[in-house]
Chains A and B, each alone.
Chain A
Amino acid sequence: MAEAIRLTYEISPDDFTRAGEASSDVKKKLRSLGVSPDAIRKVAIAMYEGEINMVIHAEGGIITVDISPDKIVMILADKGPGIPDIEQAMQAGWSTAPNEIRSLGFGAGMGLPNMKKYTDEMTIDTVIGKGTTITMVVKI
Protein backbone atom coordinates (compact mmCIF):
# COMPACT_ATOMS: atom_id res chain seq x y z
CA MET A 1 0.00 0.00 0.00
CA ALA A 2 2.16 2.82 -1.29
CA GLU A 3 -0.44 5.51 -1.78
CA ALA A 4 -3.14 6.91 0.45
CA ILE A 5 -6.68 5.66 -0.10
CA ARG A 6 -9.76 7.74 0.68
CA LEU A 7 -13.15 6.21 1.45
CA THR A 8 -16.28 8.35 1.84
CA TYR A 9 -19.63 7.31 3.28
CA GLU A 10 -22.92 9.12 3.61
CA ILE A 11 -24.62 8.10 6.85
CA SER A 12 -28.43 8.03 6.58
CA PRO A 13 -30.42 9.53 9.41
CA ASP A 14 -33.05 7.60 11.37
CA ASP A 15 -32.06 4.21 10.00
CA PHE A 16 -30.82 2.43 13.04
CA THR A 17 -30.97 -0.98 11.35
CA ARG A 18 -28.38 0.08 8.79
CA ALA A 19 -26.13 1.94 11.25
CA GLY A 20 -22.74 0.28 11.16
CA GLU A 21 -22.70 -0.61 7.47
CA ALA A 22 -19.97 1.95 6.75
CA SER A 23 -17.79 0.65 9.60
CA SER A 24 -18.34 -2.89 8.39
CA ASP A 25 -17.21 -1.90 4.89
CA VAL A 26 -14.08 -0.13 6.22
CA LYS A 27 -13.24 -3.22 8.23
CA LYS A 28 -13.43 -5.41 5.12
CA LYS A 29 -11.31 -2.98 3.07
CA LEU A 30 -8.62 -2.76 5.78
CA ARG A 31 -8.50 -6.54 5.99
CA SER A 32 -8.03 -6.83 2.23
CA LEU A 33 -5.20 -4.28 2.45
CA GLY A 34 -3.45 -6.45 5.03
CA VAL A 35 -3.62 -3.98 7.94
CA SER A 36 -2.90 -5.62 11.33
CA PRO A 37 -5.94 -7.13 13.11
CA ASP A 38 -5.30 -4.96 16.18
CA ALA A 39 -5.41 -1.71 14.20
CA ILE A 40 -8.46 -2.92 12.26
CA ARG A 41 -10.36 -3.65 15.46
CA LYS A 42 -9.52 -0.22 16.90
CA VAL A 43 -10.70 1.54 13.74
CA ALA A 44 -13.84 -0.62 13.51
CA ILE A 45 -14.93 -0.02 17.12
CA ALA A 46 -14.19 3.72 17.13
CA MET A 47 -15.87 4.33 13.79
CA TYR A 48 -18.88 2.17 14.66
CA GLU A 49 -19.49 4.12 17.88
CA GLY A 50 -19.18 7.36 15.90
CA GLU A 51 -21.52 6.10 13.20
CA ILE A 52 -24.12 5.11 15.79
CA ASN A 53 -23.80 8.56 17.39
CA MET A 54 -24.41 10.24 14.04
CA VAL A 55 -27.63 8.25 13.59
CA ILE A 56 -28.85 8.76 17.17
CA HIS A 57 -27.94 12.40 17.74
CA ALA A 58 -27.19 14.13 14.47
CA GLU A 59 -29.46 13.03 11.60
CA GLY A 60 -26.57 11.37 9.81
CA GLY A 61 -23.60 12.99 8.13
CA ILE A 62 -20.46 12.19 6.17
CA ILE A 63 -17.59 9.92 7.21
CA THR A 64 -14.25 10.17 5.41
CA VAL A 65 -11.55 7.58 6.03
CA ASP A 66 -7.99 8.22 4.83
CA ILE A 67 -5.79 5.15 4.85
CA SER A 68 -2.05 5.74 4.50
CA PRO A 69 0.89 3.41 5.18
CA ASP A 70 1.43 4.66 8.75
CA LYS A 71 -2.02 5.71 9.96
CA ILE A 72 -5.77 5.71 9.43
CA VAL A 73 -7.61 9.00 9.84
CA MET A 74 -11.39 9.03 10.30
CA ILE A 75 -13.31 12.29 9.96
CA LEU A 76 -16.96 12.16 11.06
CA ALA A 77 -18.81 15.33 10.15
CA ASP A 78 -22.46 15.98 11.00
CA LYS A 79 -24.86 18.90 10.93
CA GLY A 80 -26.46 17.94 14.25
CA PRO A 81 -27.17 20.03 17.34
CA GLY A 82 -23.54 20.18 18.54
CA ILE A 83 -22.21 19.14 21.96
CA PRO A 84 -22.80 21.81 24.65
CA ASP A 85 -20.30 20.43 27.19
CA ILE A 86 -17.58 18.19 25.71
CA GLU A 87 -16.03 17.39 29.09
CA GLN A 88 -19.37 16.09 30.36
CA ALA A 89 -20.00 14.16 27.14
CA MET A 90 -16.61 12.46 27.54
CA GLN A 91 -17.51 11.09 30.98
CA ALA A 92 -18.21 7.36 30.98
CA GLY A 93 -21.92 6.86 31.65
CA TRP A 94 -23.09 10.33 30.64
CA SER A 95 -25.73 10.11 27.93
CA THR A 96 -28.50 12.23 26.42
CA ALA A 97 -29.86 9.36 24.31
CA PRO A 98 -33.61 8.82 24.64
CA ASN A 99 -35.03 5.66 26.22
CA GLU A 100 -36.00 4.18 22.87
CA ILE A 101 -32.29 4.15 21.95
CA ARG A 102 -31.41 2.47 25.26
CA SER A 103 -33.89 -0.27 24.49
CA LEU A 104 -31.90 -0.86 21.29
CA GLY A 105 -28.69 -1.42 23.27
CA PHE A 106 -27.06 2.01 22.98
CA GLY A 107 -27.06 5.19 25.04
CA ALA A 108 -24.99 3.74 27.90
CA GLY A 109 -22.77 6.81 27.80
CA MET A 110 -19.77 4.88 26.54
CA GLY A 111 -19.64 6.06 22.91
CA LEU A 112 -17.20 8.97 23.12
CA PRO A 113 -15.06 7.34 25.88
CA ASN A 114 -14.78 4.20 23.73
CA MET A 115 -13.82 6.28 20.68
CA LYS A 116 -11.05 7.95 22.67
CA LYS A 117 -9.91 4.67 24.21
CA TYR A 118 -9.41 2.91 20.88
CA THR A 119 -7.73 5.74 18.97
CA ASP A 120 -4.30 7.36 19.26
CA GLU A 121 -5.65 10.87 18.73
CA MET A 122 -9.15 12.30 18.88
CA THR A 123 -10.30 15.89 18.45
CA ILE A 124 -13.85 17.23 18.65
CA ASP A 125 -14.85 20.44 16.88
CA THR A 126 -18.40 21.39 17.71
CA VAL A 127 -20.60 24.43 17.16
CA ILE A 128 -24.01 24.55 18.82
CA GLY A 129 -26.77 24.47 16.22
CA LYS A 130 -24.30 23.88 13.38
CA GLY A 131 -22.76 20.48 13.90
CA THR A 132 -19.84 18.41 15.11
CA THR A 133 -16.72 17.11 13.41
CA ILE A 134 -14.75 14.39 15.15
CA THR A 135 -11.31 13.47 13.85
CA MET A 136 -9.76 10.21 15.03
CA VAL A 137 -6.34 8.78 14.20
CA VAL A 138 -5.21 5.18 14.59
CA LYS A 139 -1.51 4.59 13.97
CA ILE A 140 -0.61 1.45 12.09
Chain B
Amino acid sequence: MTVRDAMGILDATVLVGEDNLDQEVRSACGSDMMSDVLAFSKDHSILLTGLCNPQVIRTAEMLDIVCIIFVRGKRPDDAVLDMARDRDLVVLSTQHRMFSSCGLLYKAGLGAGAFGGAL
Protein backbone atom coordinates (compact mmCIF):
# COMPACT_ATOMS: atom_id res chain seq x y z
CA MET B 1 0.00 0.00 0.00
CA THR B 2 1.03 3.65 -0.13
CA VAL B 3 1.38 6.09 2.74
CA ARG B 4 -1.78 7.74 1.41
CA ASP B 5 -3.66 4.41 1.75
CA ALA B 6 -2.49 4.05 5.36
CA MET B 7 -3.56 7.62 6.02
CA GLY B 8 -7.07 6.88 4.76
CA ILE B 9 -7.36 3.65 6.75
CA LEU B 10 -6.46 5.46 9.98
CA ASP B 11 -8.31 8.74 9.26
CA ALA B 12 -4.96 10.37 9.86
CA THR B 13 -3.87 13.94 9.22
CA VAL B 14 -0.56 14.98 7.68
CA LEU B 15 1.82 16.92 9.91
CA VAL B 16 4.86 16.77 7.59
CA GLY B 17 5.51 15.54 4.06
CA GLU B 18 2.32 16.21 2.13
CA ASP B 19 4.22 15.81 -1.15
CA ASN B 20 5.52 12.33 -0.30
CA LEU B 21 2.26 10.46 0.33
CA ASP B 22 2.50 8.19 -2.71
CA GLN B 23 5.54 6.27 -1.46
CA GLU B 24 5.06 2.53 -1.14
CA VAL B 25 5.15 0.90 2.31
CA ARG B 26 5.60 -2.84 2.80
CA SER B 27 5.74 -3.36 6.55
CA ALA B 28 5.12 -1.63 9.86
CA CYS B 29 6.35 -1.66 13.42
CA GLY B 30 4.49 -0.32 16.47
CA SER B 31 6.30 0.51 19.72
CA ASP B 32 7.09 3.22 22.24
CA MET B 33 10.48 1.65 22.94
CA MET B 34 12.96 2.83 20.34
CA SER B 35 15.43 0.00 20.95
CA ASP B 36 12.68 -2.47 20.09
CA VAL B 37 12.12 -0.53 16.89
CA LEU B 38 15.87 -0.57 16.18
CA ALA B 39 15.80 -4.37 16.37
CA PHE B 40 13.44 -4.21 13.39
CA SER B 41 14.99 -3.30 10.09
CA LYS B 42 12.90 -3.56 6.96
CA ASP B 43 12.77 -1.47 3.84
CA HIS B 44 9.82 0.83 3.17
CA SER B 45 8.42 0.71 6.70
CA ILE B 46 5.98 2.67 8.80
CA LEU B 47 6.68 3.35 12.48
CA LEU B 48 3.64 3.70 14.74
CA THR B 49 4.38 5.22 18.13
CA GLY B 50 2.99 7.25 21.00
CA LEU B 51 6.40 8.64 21.91
CA CYS B 52 6.92 12.24 20.83
CA ASN B 53 10.59 13.14 21.42
CA PRO B 54 13.44 13.83 18.93
CA GLN B 55 14.77 10.28 19.30
CA VAL B 56 11.73 8.99 17.40
CA ILE B 57 12.88 10.98 14.38
CA ARG B 58 16.48 9.81 14.80
CA THR B 59 15.38 6.19 15.11
CA ALA B 60 13.37 6.53 11.89
CA GLU B 61 16.37 8.15 10.24
CA MET B 62 18.75 5.31 11.17
CA LEU B 63 16.31 2.69 9.87
CA ASP B 64 15.35 4.53 6.66
CA ILE B 65 11.73 4.49 7.80
CA VAL B 66 9.39 6.20 5.33
CA CYS B 67 6.58 7.38 7.59
CA ILE B 68 5.96 7.93 11.31
CA ILE B 69 2.38 7.75 12.57
CA PHE B 70 1.70 9.23 16.01
CA VAL B 71 -1.21 7.40 17.64
CA ARG B 72 -3.82 8.55 20.20
CA GLY B 73 -3.94 12.01 18.60
CA LYS B 74 -0.44 12.87 19.73
CA ARG B 75 1.48 15.66 18.07
CA PRO B 76 5.17 16.35 18.68
CA ASP B 77 6.39 19.93 19.05
CA ASP B 78 7.54 22.04 16.09
CA ALA B 79 11.25 21.37 16.69
CA VAL B 80 10.63 17.63 16.30
CA LEU B 81 8.50 18.19 13.19
CA ASP B 82 11.26 20.35 11.70
CA MET B 83 13.72 17.50 12.25
CA ALA B 84 11.36 15.19 10.33
CA ARG B 85 11.05 17.76 7.52
CA ASP B 86 14.84 17.99 7.21
CA ARG B 87 14.98 14.22 6.76
CA ASP B 88 12.18 14.01 4.17
CA LEU B 89 10.03 11.89 6.46
CA VAL B 90 6.25 11.78 6.32
CA VAL B 91 4.62 12.38 9.71
CA LEU B 92 0.95 11.56 10.31
CA SER B 93 -1.26 11.75 13.38
CA THR B 94 -4.28 9.51 14.05
CA GLN B 95 -6.86 9.50 16.83
CA HIS B 96 -6.81 5.69 16.88
CA ARG B 97 -4.96 3.97 19.71
CA MET B 98 -1.86 1.87 19.07
CA PHE B 99 -3.66 -1.49 19.11
CA SER B 100 -6.43 -0.36 16.76
CA SER B 101 -4.01 1.41 14.43
CA CYS B 102 -1.84 -1.69 14.07
CA GLY B 103 -4.90 -3.91 13.69
CA LEU B 104 -6.47 -1.76 10.98
CA LEU B 105 -3.28 -1.65 8.92
CA TYR B 106 -2.65 -5.37 9.36
CA LYS B 107 -6.20 -6.19 8.33
CA ALA B 108 -5.72 -4.05 5.22
CA GLY B 109 -2.77 -6.23 4.21
CA LEU B 110 0.26 -4.50 5.67
CA GLY B 111 2.57 -7.15 7.11
CA ALA B 112 5.14 -7.11 9.84
CA GLY B 113 7.94 -8.28 7.59
CA ALA B 114 9.59 -11.67 8.06
CA PHE B 115 8.50 -13.15 11.37
CA GLY B 116 11.27 -14.33 13.62
CA GLY B 117 14.31 -12.88 11.86
CA ALA B 118 14.20 -9.15 12.30
CA LEU B 119 11.62 -9.16 15.06
Q: Say yes or no: B58 contacts A41, CB within 8 Å.
A: no
Judged by DSSP, the binding face of B is: helix
Using C-beta atoms within 8 Å of the partner chain, give the interface range for chain A. Answer: 20 to 34
**Known A-B contacts A16-B55, A20-B55, A45-B41; A106 and B35 likewise in contact (beta carbons under 8 Å):** yes
- What is the bound-complex CA distance between A112 and B87, given in angstroms? 26
A44-B62, A48-B59 are known; give 17 further A-B pairs, CB within 8 A.
Answer: A17-B53, A19-B55, A23-B62, A27-B61, A45-B38, A45-B63, A104-B51, A104-B55, A105-B34, A105-B56, A105-B59, A106-B33, A106-B35, A107-B35, A108-B36, A110-B33, A111-B35
Smallest CB-CB A-B distances: 6 pairs? A110-B35, A20-B58, A105-B34, A108-B33, A44-B62, A108-B35
Q: What are 21 sample pairs from A and B whose C-beta atoms fall under 8 A apart? A: A17-B53, A20-B55, A20-B62, A24-B61, A24-B62, A37-B64, A41-B64, A45-B38, A45-B41, A48-B58, A104-B53, A104-B55, A105-B49, A106-B33, A106-B35, A106-B55, A108-B33, A110-B38, A114-B35, A114-B38, A118-B41
